[in-house]
């Protein structure tokens, strides 16, 4: 059967079902469950809450199942290192597995865990794998060294991994050589230009050239990149490299072809420094490079575009390579616009006196296409050819005049723009066509075209008989024109006045200067007008010298790159994204590295709320506790108190006395290190005296009874017995609890039971970011003396006050889920999910006047409505239960002819910034079904009410 079946489920409770299947003893059923998990992960669903159950499946001899589990681990190791840390012991064990595939998977996955102190567990397996007998393991380990260097460079250097990588360049397997080289290149980039980690010499060069023919295509790319970066000044070395690289031009992979071109271009530069300039050698190489570059244009449009952007750089650097291939770049009718535009650029660069007739014929055809942008670009291309090739200028102008005769508005305007540039490039040569341009003034409606025509009229006013009339026509709309046109009009009018100082010109200049100085908001226009005014009023001859001065001849450099940038892009970045952007990488690539998680930060791990789930279990397994404990033992002496990070959190006075004193540091197993404890972790019980040594539980002899402890915590025995189960761990710590509202404050009533054989201490609690910003006032659990959970299944109640922390509020949509982490010294970190009930967050002072309710109901967005499948005994009972949950009843009436009661109530929820909520309830007493309508500023509040109201009306809130 096809694996597509694993993607087909849409059940709301599938996470719970997957948990059960992952824990199944039936191997095929377990494997199917892992496949479903991988399928869910593939389509983007967060299945990280299944991590402990998936990790437990690693202990298997089934190779397929182990591969699936590692696939899951590799995916979540990068984004959730705190989860992957739980499987470190298994990684270390699998790195010595007889199967080389398992060994490689283990070391690859360990390299993905970006947790600083866990890297020391990676070193020994990595050292073994770098010298493994199997080349697959060695090549995987080589890449892992680069990942480890990104996390801890000093550790890589101290353990000699860089020397081992350099030794691997002599490996008999070409893929190992390629991966070792790729790792060294990555490390070199991380280390910066100050260190030469690759240490390329003639011996290393020969090894890389020998491996080049046998590598995979991407291995060849890495080797070619290193050859391009090899700095040699010996023309013989360059020739040797080029001769070995030339066969790569025939490769089917375009990346290999472009990388080979980069190496050969680099060799050309070196050979050109040799005797005689190496002209014959360079010419021979150029002939061999042209066909592969042309072949790249036979690929799909996206690859064509990348190839064209690279070819554009090559043509700017060495146009002779493709000088005879201009026809290849003629546009096809079905080319995408972005490909056509790039082809036009290259056609302009390759245009010469020999092929200009063919190019002009092609451009003229393009100028009559239907795509406006392409037509504009084609007309401009004709003008650029005229500017670049003085012998072909007249032919280009003739083509432009033919296009002007088409009377197509945007064609005429583009032609006028480029003819202005031709006039500037060749002054006093082609002014005879001005009369034709003046006949098409009615077609001008774009600012650039208008300003070009105005420049022509002003520049050649003495040759245009009716220049003053033409200028007057433009000046009629002076105030409404764009800034570009206004500036050009101002300068052209001054030129007209200086060249033909007639009465009409004098009136025009007065009107323009007056308008530009008094009626404009543009500072550039106003300043220029004042300068002209003062020049004309003080010294007209000086004004002529300034305004009518001879202008420098322009050149076509509109798309040419700076020579140093071009050299950098061709020799270093050809066949990379930088060559596509025509920009150096530092201008668009952030050099920020991925964050390396510290062990003490893992407590702030991000959970993604499961869609449709309410309560569930997410428990760390034995591997997690073992790994965390091992990390602590290895680094406690060096790390110090990882929890001593901030000022103490404020705690209510009633519980401050019960909080135990802070102990010494515990080290890396403080996985909730983000907790604000001020002095450190939670203490273990004081060492027992010699008299108690015979009874390991003697310290609990004075522990209060369950009833006394519940009373001390403010929990009635009845409430204690009704707390729902949140987490069940056979033989471990179990948790029952509920969120309630007591004394105007949200509190967590918890009942903790220790089923282990030893006391459990060091209890701390933390909540993940949630829709209401609920967070413990103090993360230290105030347990009754002696501050620990006694063994033997004794239930200990505890009350945890919660406060609203605005920094922990998640963005919309609103969700009732609450994810909680409970840290212990003995059994590690326990995770469980809960839901925030409506009655816990509605505030005591949330009532309002009936008139205000009516006005708010009219003003708020449309209500959301739902029917709740429950029966309410009577309206009075409903009002009592609503009031008990801080839902204030403002009105109650009978709905005529229906037998229904209608109750109008309101509440206020400040947590999460929700605000006032208005409710309408309609029901028949004793009958099934309550119709509820909700109005609030936020539309997503309605689901919170629909989910929480049944418990309120049934009296179970």
pLDDT digit string, tens, across residues 282-298: 889 999 999 999 999 98
Helices (H), 781-884: 838-841, 850-859, 875-884
Least confident window among 304-318, 336-350, 703-717, 932-946: 703-717
Report residue 657's pLDDT band, with 50, 70 and 90 as the boundaries: very low
Average pLDDT of the residues in 924-930? 86
Q: How far apart are the C-alpha atoms of 197 and 200, rounded to whole Å?
A: 9
Averaged pLDDT of the chain: 81
Select, from the ranges 16-30, 558-572, 740-754, the one with the highest average predicted confidence (pLDDT): 740-754
Which of 552, 570, 594 is where one domain is finished? 552
Assess whether 480 and 535 both reside in one domain.
Answer: yes
pLDDT at 594 exceeding the cut of 80: no
User: pLDDT tens-digit profile of 306-359?
Assistant: 999 999 999 998 989 998 889 999 999 899 999 999 999 999 999 999 999 999
- Give the separation between CA 464 and CA 458, rounded to whole angstroms: 9
Is residue 393 included in any domain, yes or no? no
Please tell me whether residues 817 and 906 are part of one structural domain.
Answer: no
Q: In terms of domains, do 788 and 853 share one?
A: no
Closest CA to 570 of 579, 562, 561: 579
Residue that is written with structure tokens 């010109």 in the block: 505
Q: How many CB atoms lie within 10 A of CB 741?
A: 19
Cis check: omega of the bond before 391, within 30 degrees of 0:
no
933: its two tokens:
């309508």
* Longest CA pairwise span in the chain (Å): 122
Q: Which two tokens stand for residue 604?
A: 């702030």
Domain presence at residue 258:
no
What is the rounded distance in angstroms from the CA atom of residue 169 to the CA atom of residue 175? 10
218 by DSSP, 3-state: which? helix
CATH number at residue 791: 2.60.40.1150
What count of Cα atoms within 13 Å lies in the side-chain half-sphere of residue 493?
32
Q: Which one-letter DSSP state was computed for residue 932?
A: E
> Does residue 786 have a cis peptide bond before it, meaning omega lies within 30 degrees of 0?
yes
pLDDT mean over 790-799 = 87
Query: Does 269 fall in a domain?
Result: no
| Domain-located, residue 69 | no
Residue whose C-alpha is closest to residue 846's, from 915, 755, 792, 907:
907
Which residues, including other chains, have CB under 8 Å from residue 577's CB and lie 6 or more apart? 585, 588, 589
Do 923 and 872 form a contact (C-beta atoms < 8 A)? yes
Give the residue with greater pLDDT, 327 vs 706: 327
Mean pLDDT of 526-548: 90
**Residues whose CB falls within 8 Å of the CB of residue 622, separated by 6 or more in sequence, listed in order:** none
- 932 vs 949: CA distance, rounded Å: 9
Report the DSSP beta bridge partners of residue 247.
none
Tens of pLDDT along 828-844?
888 889 999 999 999 99
Supply the range of the domain harboring residue 787: 708-836
Which stretch of DSSP H or E encloses residue 803?
Answer: strand 795-804
Pick the last residue of a domain from 552, 579, 601. 552
Q: Extract the tokens encoding 273.
A: 């420094």
822 plus 868 within the same structural domain = no
H or E element at residue 220: helix 217-229
The residue among 86 and 33 whose pLDDT is bigger is 33
**497-521 per-position pLDDT tens digit:** 999 888 888 999 999 999 999 888 8
3-state secondary structure of 359: helix
Checking if the pLDDT of 71 tops 80, the result is yes
Quick one: pLDDT band at residue 2, thresholds 50, 70, 90? low
Report pLDDT for 631. 39
805 plus 749 within the same structural domain: yes
Statement to judge: residues 828 and 851 lie in one domain: no
Question: 804 and 849 share a domain?
Answer: no
- Cα three-residue angle 739-742-743, rounded to 5 degrees: 155
Establish if 785 belongs to a structural domain. yes
**Does 879 share its domain with 825?**
no
Q: Does 531 map to a domain?
A: yes
pLDDT at position 151 over 90: no
Verify that 818 and 848 share a domain, yes or no: no
pLDDT score for 605 = 42
Measured over the CA atoms of residue 189, residue 191, residue 195 and residue 201, the dihedral's sign is negative
Q: What is the pLDDT of residues 426-485, one digit of tens each?
A: 888 888 888 888 888 888 889 999 999 999 999 998 888 888 888 998 899 898 989 999
In the Cβ-directed half-sphere of 913, how many Cα atoms lie within 13 Å?
11
Q: 806 and 856: one domain?
A: no
Positive/negative CA dihedral, 471, 473, 477, 482: negative
Helix segments in 7-87, DSSP class H: 14-22, 27-42, 51-56, 63-79, 81-84
What does the pLDDT look like over 110-143, one tens digit per residue? 887 776 666 777 888 899 999 999 999 999 999 9
CATH of the domain at 882: 3.30.310.10
pLDDT beyond 90 at 882: yes
* CA nearest to 204, candidates 220, 227, 182, 186: 227
Q: Are 867 and 937 part of one and the same domain?
A: yes
Residue 217 and residue 256 in contact, taking contact as beta carbons nearer than 8 Å? yes
In angstroms, rounded to a whole number, what is the distance separating the alpha carbons of residues 505 and 468? Answer: 6
Q: Residue 76 domain-assigned?
A: no
Give the pLDDT of residue 593. 58
Q: Is the pLDDT of residue 889 over 90?
A: yes
Residue at 626 is within a domain: no
Q: At what angle do helices 337-350 and 372-388 cross, to 10 degrees?
A: 10
Query: Based on the domain organization, do 822 and 866 belong to the same domain?
Result: no
Query: Strand 817-823 vs strand 900-909: parallel, antiparallel, or unpaired?
Result: unpaired
Question: How buried is residue 11: exposed, middle or buried, by Cβ count under 10 Å (0-12/13-18/19+)?
Answer: exposed
pLDDT for position 78: 66
Name every residue whose Cβ is closer than 8 Å to that of residue 405 and which is 6 or more positions away in sequence.
Answer: none
Last residue of a domain, one of 836, 871, 906: 836
pLDDT of residue 345: 92
Phi, psi of 300 (to 5 degrees): -65, 160
Dihedral class, residue 787 (left if φ above 0, else alpha if ψ from -120 to 50, else beta): left
Residue 690 scores a pLDDT above 60? no
Q: What is the average pLDDT across 211-215? A: 87
Segment 741-765 mean pLDDT = 89
The helix (run of H) or strand (run of E) holding residue 107 is: helix 100-111
d(CA 567, CA 616): 60
Token pair listed for 589: 């690539």
Residues 217-242 have pLDDT tens digits of 889 999 998 888 888 888 888 888 99
- For 187, the enclosing helix (H) or strand (E) is helix 174-191
> What total number of domains does the chain contain?
3
What is the mean predicted confidence (pLDDT) over 28-33? 89
pTM: 0.59
DSSP 487-547: HHHHHHHHHHHHHS--HHHHHHHHHHHHHHHHS---HHHHHHHHHHHHHHHH-HHHHHHHH
């Amino acid at each position: 059967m096809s694996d597509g079946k694993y993607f087909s489920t849409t059940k709301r409770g599938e996470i719970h079902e997957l948990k059960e299947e992952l824990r199944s003893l039936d191997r095929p059923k377990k494997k199917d469950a892992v496949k479903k998990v991988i399928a869910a992960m593939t389509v983007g669903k967060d299945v990280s809450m299944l991590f402990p159950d998936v990790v437990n499946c690693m202990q298997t001899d089934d190779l397929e199942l182990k591969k699936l589990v590692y696939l899951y681990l590799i995916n979540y190791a990068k984004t959730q290192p705190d989860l992957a840390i739980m499987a470190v012991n298994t990684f270390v064990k699998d790195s010595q597995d007889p199967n080389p595939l398992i060994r490689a998977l283990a070391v690859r996955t360990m390299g993905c865990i970006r947790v600083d102190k866990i890297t020391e567990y990676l070193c020994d397996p990595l050292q073994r794998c770098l010298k493994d007998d199997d080349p697959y393991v060695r090549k995987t380990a080589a890449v892992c060294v680069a990942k480890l260097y990104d996390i801890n460079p000093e550790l890589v250097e101290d353990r000699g991994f860089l020397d081992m990588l350099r030794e691997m360049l002599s490996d008999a397997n070409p893929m190992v050589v390629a991966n070792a080289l790729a790792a060294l290149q990555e490390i070199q980039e991380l280390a910066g230009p100050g260190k030469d980690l690759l240490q390329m010499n003639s011996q290393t060069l020969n090894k890389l050239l020998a491996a080049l023919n046998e590598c995979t295509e991407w291995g060849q790319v890495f080797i070619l990149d290193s050859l391009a970066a090899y700095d040699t000044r010996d023309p013989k070395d360059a020739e040797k490299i080029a001769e070995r690289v030339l066969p790569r031009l025939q490769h089917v992979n375009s990346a290999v072809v472009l990388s080979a071109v980069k190496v050969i271009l680099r060799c050309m530069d070196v050979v050109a420094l040799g005797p005689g300039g190496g002209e014959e050698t360079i010419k021979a190489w150029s002939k061999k490079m042209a066909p592969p570059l042309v072949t790249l244009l036979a690929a799909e449009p996206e690859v064509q575009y990348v190839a064209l952007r690279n070819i554009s750089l090559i043509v700017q650097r060495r146009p002779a390579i493709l000088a005879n291939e201009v026809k290849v770049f003629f546009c096809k009718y079905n080319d995408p616009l972005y490909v056509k535009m790039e082809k036009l650029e290259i056609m302009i660069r390759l245009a010469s006196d020999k092929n200009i007739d063919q190019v002009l014929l092609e451009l003229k055809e393009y100028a009559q296409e239907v795509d406006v942008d392409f037509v504009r670009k084609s007309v401009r291309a004709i003008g650029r050819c005229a500017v670049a090739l003085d012998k072909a200028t007249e032919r280009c102008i003739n083509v432009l005049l033919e296009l002007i005769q088409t009377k197509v508005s945007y064609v005429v305007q583009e032609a006028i723009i480029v003819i202005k540039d031709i006039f500037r490039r060749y002054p006093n040569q082609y002014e005879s066509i001005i009369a034709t341009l003046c006949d098409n003034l009615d077609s001008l409606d774009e600012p650039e075209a208008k300003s070009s025509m105005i420049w022509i009229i002003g520049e050649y006013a003495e040759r245009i008989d009716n220049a003053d009339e033409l200028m007057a026509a433009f000046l009629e709309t002076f105030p409404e024109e764009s800034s570009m046109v206004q500036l050009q009009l101002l300068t052209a009018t001054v030129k007209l006045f200086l060249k033909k100082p007639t009465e009409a010109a004098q009136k025009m200049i007065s009107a323009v200067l007056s308008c530009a100085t008094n009626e404009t908001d543009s500072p550039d226009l106003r300043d220029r007008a004042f300068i002209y005014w003062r020049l004309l009023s003080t010294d007209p001859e000086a004004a002529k010298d300034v305004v009518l001065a001879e202008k420098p001849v322009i050149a076509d450099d509109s798309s040419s790159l700076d020579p140093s940038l071009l050299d950098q892009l061709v020799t270093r970045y050809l066949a990379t994204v930088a060559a596509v952007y025509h920009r150096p990488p530092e201008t668009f690539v952030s050099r920020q590295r991925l964050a390396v998680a510290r062990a003490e930060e893992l407590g702030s791990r991000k959970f993604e709320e499961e869609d449709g789930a309410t309560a569930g279990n997410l428990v760390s397994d034995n591997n997690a506790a073992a790994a965390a404990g091992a990390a602590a033992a290895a680094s406690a002496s060096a790390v110090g108190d990882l929890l001593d990070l901030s000022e103490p959190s404020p705690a209510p006075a009633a519980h401050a006395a019960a909080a135990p004193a802070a102990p010494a540091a515990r080290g890396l197993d403080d996985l909730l290190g983000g907790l604000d404890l001020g002095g450190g972790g939670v203490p273990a019980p004081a060492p027992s005296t010699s008299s108690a040594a015979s009874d390991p539980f003697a310290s609990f002899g004075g522990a209060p009874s369950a009833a006394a402890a519940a009373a001390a915590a403010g929990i009635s025995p009845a409430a204690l017995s009704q707390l729902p189960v949140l987490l069940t761990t056979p033989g471990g710590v179990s948790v029952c609890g509920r969120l309630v509202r007591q004394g105007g404050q949200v509190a967590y009533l918890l009942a903790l039971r220790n089923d282990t054989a030893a006391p459990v201490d060091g209890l701390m609690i933390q909540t993940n970011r949630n829709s209401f910003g609920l967070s413990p006032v103090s993360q230290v659990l105030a347990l009754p003396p002696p501050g620990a959970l006694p063994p033997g299944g004794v239930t200990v109640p505890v009350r945890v006050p919660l406060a609203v922390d605005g920094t922990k509020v998640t963005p919309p949509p609103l969700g009732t889920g609450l994810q909680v982490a409970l840290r212990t010294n003995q059994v590690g970190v326990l995770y469980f999910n809960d839901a925030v009930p409506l009655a816990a967050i509605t505030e005591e002072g949330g009532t309002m006047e009936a008139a205000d309710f009516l006005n708010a109901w009219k003003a708020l967005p449309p209500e959301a409505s739902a029917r709740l499948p429950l029966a309410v005994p009577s309206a009075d009972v409903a009002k009592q239960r609503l009031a008990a949950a801080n839902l204030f009843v403002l009105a109650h009436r009978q709905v005529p002819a229906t037998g229904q009661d209608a109750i109008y109530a309101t509440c206020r929820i400040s947590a999460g910034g929700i605000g006032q909520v208005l409710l309408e309830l309609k029901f028949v007493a004793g009958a099934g079904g309550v119709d509820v309508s909700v109005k609030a500023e936020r539309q997503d509040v309605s689901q919170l009410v629909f989910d929480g109201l049944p418990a309120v009306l049934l009296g179970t809130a």
